[in-house]
Structure 1
Amino acid sequence: MTETTVPAPARRGLLKAAAIGAAGTAVLATPNVSRAQTTTLRFQSTWPQRDIFHEFAQDYVERVNRMAGGRLRLELLAAGAVVGAFQLLDAVHAGTLDGGHGVSAYWFGKNKSFSLFGTTPPWFNDANHMIGWFYYGGGEALYRELMHDVLRMNAVGFMTGPMPTQPLGWFKNPIERADQIRGLRYRTVGLATDLFNEMGAAVVALPGGEIVPALERGVIDGAEFNNPSSDRVLGFADVARNYMIQSFHQRVECFEILFNRQRYEGLPAELQAILRHGAEAASADMSWKQQDRYSRDLVALAQGGVNVRPTPRPVLDAQLQAWDRVIQRLEADNSAPANGPLFKKICDSQREWCRRVGGFYLRYEASAVISYNHFFARG
């Protein structure tokens, strides 16, 4: 058998081979970072710039921009910069805006089912349970059916940011009886419009920045917006001194993040994931931030002379009875397939989730009222 001898390489050859090997290793170790030009998306909120809701929109934008690593940038604009708050969905559909931050109840005029993804009947325990239904209880598929199949809107959306129960609102005189709502000129949005109409109010839908001026001029007699921080900075306490907290008209609500569908689907999969998962991250952060800010601002309002009062039980009971009538009427609306049948389909899905999930938490958790009173309500 003949032995094959491999000649030893020259020193220059060894150095060259080593250089190639090192370069090869460097190539393998270097992340595959795209050097593509930054894609910028114009992203408008439906909130005044000074409102904490616009701050929540900014928190989402900052998370996306940091995670995108220079490949994608959201440019945040305040309400009215391109279109009014109630025109956001149409602007995103048309491509006038690439995306935006709002609430689905604002599109209530297109189809009342939209409000079921924002201001639902009060069968959810809290807004986080509603977002759970959206992502794990079939809600997202129903949302796409409404957005794409029924209304043919060129938009995609994510639910984010669970909101606490909204107050009954601000009034010149306290609301002590349900009959005081009859004839009241009152601002709200979404399905709460139907609820208060059922209770005899004359409802006016206004975006956030227009509510306090309307109260000041006497155009409306009472109004709700959302929370102590927004209400404080928007100046509600300057025009009304009675703040009625606790209500069933908007027991839960969450934000909606919208993008133009073609613009979104034209992005690489990893950037689509950042937009979607950024909404999840911002949702968690918002739920923590509002704990600090809302509680502080409610104390500040009370210390500033605002009469903060819980809504009386008879008013809450009257709201629930009115909800029964509103739901029954809307579920029975057969004027078009996209009305009553779809509305009932969504309500059935929510009720199934709430019976199981809401029932679980009511049975499983000890009462927070008992422990709070034990530690903090003792004389």
Structure 2
Amino acid sequence: MTGTHQSKSRRAFLKGGGIAAGAAAASVIAAPTVVAQSPVVIKMQSSWPASDAFHEMAGQYVKLVEATSGGRLKIDLLPAGAVVGAFQVIDAVNDGVIDASHTVPVYWYGKHKAASFFGTGPVWGGSATTMLAWFHSGGGKEFYRELTQDILGLNIIGFMGFPMPAQPLGWFKSPVTKAGQLKGLKYRTVGLAADLFQQMGLSVAQLPGGEIVPAMERGVIDAFEFNNPTSDMRFGAQDVAKNYMLSSYHQASECFEFQFNRDFFEGLEPDLQAILQNSVDAASSVNTYWALKQYSDDLAKLQTEHGVKVLRTPQEILDAQLAGWDKLIEQLGKDEFMKRIMDSQKQFVEKVVFYELMNAPDYVLAYNHYYPGKLAL
């Protein structure tokens, strides 16, 4: 290639490059100004004190939503009592006083006892995971919508997540070995569990978590349950009783409820709605992983640092609970809607738990093999 030809080619290249650069500059100048969109702020109140494990777990949901939305959603999470009481969040969501809540259905079963079927109803033989599977894939979600929107006329949308470990029978000043020892006790529980223990001869007080220990100190109650070793320890249960009885059928299948004001939720962009809903499933897993470690850590602390005796509930009491449930089931079945729910749950559990139990190896056998004598509490 000659020098003259090289110069011409270079000039042509630079000329073309100059045109392209000019066009690029013009496009930059002509580009519209992008304004950062303010996040949608969601006012959510939990049914838990700020120090409780459940409020911390609600915070795990908040982090997932905010991260997944890229900052387009921001949740202002408030503890119980910040706007309304722990049992009043459903009314506040319905009325639009708050946009959302983190709670449990049993806290509003006073509106309709069917609320307890979404977590604290008859055990049937399944776990909280079984109940949550029924909710998502066995028809439970439609029953929940029918109850909240059609029967009660509430302006809410709700989702369920975090299959809780079965709740302990609770805290007692003296160990209970016979069902007859429960009769006459003033006992704290909630929901259909209150009906169950009344069937068994106890006097029941329904109290939110933050009021339990003060009630025990004042003698308003003799014994109580709340939920798990972490929450119970943070409440100070170990300061008012030293006998912690694990295993019970009174609340063996509970999970969290995430309520949203329906108008607020449906007014969001579809992708933001999906983020709020799908983050419930993500939080369900995150909550489970966190809880298994934290609950077991704190159960050990209760034993080693606070002198708490950890006991399993005797079979005689479990048998009495099942007999109590039988009576309740008969009474509740007189209501057509609740009968439909129970029939649906029984059919689902019979098939699913048959598979689970037939398929599951004997974990107790394996545990005793590697940790001999530890289960003899």
CA apart distance, 1:125? 2.6
Whole-Å separation in 2 of the counterparts to 1:57 and 1:137: 26
- What letter matches 2:81 in structure 1? G
Task: Tell me the residue number matched to 1:267.
Answer: 268
Equivalent runs, 1:178-257 vs 2, <5 Å: 178-257=179-258
- For each residue in 1:159-197, what CA deviation from the matched residue of structure 2 results, as whole angstroms up to 9, or x when unmatched? 011110111111112111111222111110111011011
> Is the alpha carbon distance of 1:376 and 1:154 closer, same or farther for their aligned partners in structure 2, counting shifts above 3 Å?
same
Cross-structure match for 1:321? 323
| Residues 1:366 and 2:361 are matched in the alignment | yes
Q: What one-letter code is carried by the residue in structure 1 that aligns with 2:314?
A: P
Report the Cα offset of residue 15 of structure 1.
3.9
Alpha-carbon spacing, 1:38–1:363, altered in 2? closer, same or farther (3 Å): same
Deviations 1:303-322 (A, max 9, x none): 12112111111011000011
1:309 aligns with one of 311, 328, 334: 311
1:243 counterpart letter in structure 2: Y
Which residue does 2:333 correspond to in 1? 331
When normalised by structure 1's length, the TM-score is 0.90
- Matched position secondary structure for 2:45: strand
Deviation at 1:132, TM superposition (A): 1.1
SS at match of 2:187: strand
Offset of residue 244 of structure 1? 1.1
Residue pair 1:124, 1:252 contacting (<8 A) in 2 also: no
Matched length = 359
Distance 2:104 2:26 in 1: 52
CA contact (8 A) 2:119 2:128 kept: no
- Inter-partner Cα distance in structure 2 for 1:106 and 1:205: 9
Structure 2: 5+ residue runs without aligned partners?
1-11, 28-33
For residues 222-269 of structure 1, what are the alpha-carbon distances to aligned partners after superposition, in whole Å with 9 as ceiling and x for unaligned? 100000000001001111111111111111210001111100000000
Q: Distance between the aligned counterparts of 1:124 and 1:76, measured in 2?
A: 35
Query: Letter of the aligned partner of 1:245 in structure 2?
Result: L
Corresponding position of 1:99 = 100
The answer to whether residue 348 in structure 2 is matched with residue 353 in structure 1 is yes
SS where residue 44 of structure 2 aligns?
Answer: strand
Matched-pair contact (CA < 8 Å) for 2:60–2:283: yes
Greater CA deviation, 160-169 or 368-377?
A: 368-377
* 1:35 CA displacement: 3.6
The 8 Å contact of residues 188 and 224 in structure 1, kept in 2 or not, is answered as: yes
Aligned counterparts of 1:296 and 1:115: Cα–Cα separation in 2 = 29
The equivalent residue for 2:76 is 75
Q: 1:209 to 1:23 in 2, by over 3 A?
A: farther
Equivalent residue for 2:39?
Answer: 38
Matched, 1:16 2:19: yes
Q: CA RMSD in A?
A: 2.1
Q: Against the structure 1 CA distance between its residues 19 and 207, is the aligned structure 2 distance closer, same or farther, given a 3 Å change threshold?
A: farther
Task: Provide closer, same or farther for how the CA distance between residues 302 and 38 of structure 1 changes in structure 2, counting only shifts above 3 A.
Answer: same
Distance 1:153 1:368 in 2: 44
How many Å separate the matches in 1 of 2:90 and 2:17?
65
Matched letter for residue 356 of structure 2:
Y
Q: 1:345 to 1:20 in 2, by over 3 A?
A: farther
Residue 139, structure 1, aligned to residue 134, structure 2: no
Partner of residue 84, structure 1: 85
Q: CA deviation at 1:12?
A: 4.8
Q: CA deviation at 1:130?
A: 1.2
Distance 1:361 1:21, change over 3 A: farther
Amino acid at match of 1:155: I
Look up the equivalent residue of 2:103 and give its one-letter code: G
Q: Which has the larger radius of gyration?
A: 2
Letter in 2 for 1:363: M
User: Residue by residue, what CA displacement relative to the aligned partner does 1:131-170 show, whole Å, maximum 9, x if unpaired?
Assistant: 1111111111110000100001111111011110111111
Change (3 A) 1:378 1:173: closer
Separation in structure 1 between the aligned mates of residue 105 and residue 214 of structure 2, nearest angstrom: 24
User: Is the Cα–Cα contact under 8 Å of residues 127 and 252 in structure 1 kept in the other structure?
Assistant: yes
The whole-number CA distance in structure 2 between the counterparts of 1:83 and 1:152 is 21
Name the CA shift for 1:20/1:149 in 2 (closer, same or farther; >3 Å). Answer: farther
Q: What percentage of aligned pairs have identical amino acids?
A: 49
* Alpha-carbon distance in structure 1 between the residues aligned to 2:220 and 2:207: 11
1:161 corresponds to: 162
Q: Which runs of 5+ in 1 are unaligned?
A: 1-8, 25-32, 333-339
Would you say 1:65 and 2:60 are equivalent positions?
A: no
What TM-score do you get using the length of structure 2 for normalisation?
Answer: 0.91
How far 1:273 sits from its partner (Å)?
0.6
